[in-house]
Amino acid sequence: MEPFESKPDFEYPIQKPSFDSVVRQKRREAKLKAEQERYKVANQQTPENDEVEPVYTAIEQQMMDEAREISLVGHLSELRKRLIIMAVAIIIGTCISYYYVDLLLEILLKPAGKLYYMRPTEAFFTYMKVSVVGGLVIAAPVILHQIWLFVKPALTAREKQLSNWILPVAIGLFGIGIVFSYFLVLPAAVKFFMGFATDELQPMFSIGQYLDFVLSFVLPFGFIFELPLILIILGYFNLITSRFLKSKRKIFILISFIIGAVISPTPDMFSQTMIALPMILLYETSLFVLAKIMKR
């Protein structure tokens, strides 16, 4: 028997594909191309890192809606509780201020001396106004503490740690602003305006108008003295830097005089300057703290 030898030039006969197989292949290619296009469109609409929302059944969706409503009711109940506590604190503070209203009026009216009231109800409403303002000042720590307790659950650990010293510092700065205005700024302002008196023109201040002047001149300093705290908090979170404050110094000086003109009880330049200067000094203090102490 002769050995079998393979022939390298052996070729299978070429068969032409059937018409049906060609049609099926074209359909498969068209289907694959359509799936690829849909995949590209889906990737463009949905970011890679986003999670696809799961599909919930009707019962699961109802349970989630009920839980969401319960959470909303809980927040509203918590808000109502905090508001009630703040209202009670204001009422108690007002009662305490009314008990010592004569002493408070003596302190407030000391820079002007003897005053008068022009209307029968002016003295009564002045007493009530002093009592309410005094009650708000006394209740201010309680109000700030209740606000902090309401927002505390939504804070991160870093924000909670920061808020532990923000509250006492804010109260302290507000008190320093009130004391600074009463002992330094208010006497200078009253002395300046009384300096226009002559033998023919004597000052006769109405107690209601004078009290409005004092409150509108003293209370804004309590909020103005919060400026360093606000800027330092922004610097702590890297929202501003000392370089940014330096670049905006001229703009802030202009804004300080504009704010002084807006909140000043009188339209004169003296009151405007007395309000603007402390703001500028506090701005420079904040810049120094950010640059030298916090290295921001």
Q: Rounded mean pLDDT of 169-197?
A: 81
Q: What is the pLDDT of residues 269-283, one digit of tens each?
A: 777 787 788 888 888
**Cα-Cα end-to-end distance for the chain:** 99
Q: What is the pLDDT of residues 50-69, one digit of tens each?
A: 444 555 566 656 555 555 55
Predicted pLDDT of residue 218: 82
At position 241, the amino acid (one-letter code) is: T
Number of domains in the chain: 1
Domain membership of residue 56 (yes or no) is no
What range does the domain containing 241 cover? Answer: 67-294
Domain membership of residue 249 (yes or no) is yes
Alpha-carbon torsion angle 143, 168, 174, 235, nearest 10: -110
Domain membership of residue 83 (yes or no) is yes
Categorize the per-residue pLDDT at 88 as very low, low, confident or very high, splitting at 50, 70 and 90: very high
Name, of 95-104, 151-160, 182-191, the range with top average pLDDT.
95-104
Domain membership of residue 146 (yes or no) is yes
Domain membership of residue 35 (yes or no) is no
Predicted pLDDT of residue 84: 92
Domain membership of residue 282 (yes or no) is yes
Q: What is the pLDDT of residues 114-125, one digit of tens each?
A: 777 777 788 888
Other C-beta atoms closer than 10 Å to the C-beta of 5 total 5
Q: Rounded mean pLDDT of 169-186?
A: 84
More confident residue, 25 or 121: 121
Above 80 in pLDDT, residue 267?
no
Beta bridge partners of 206: 116
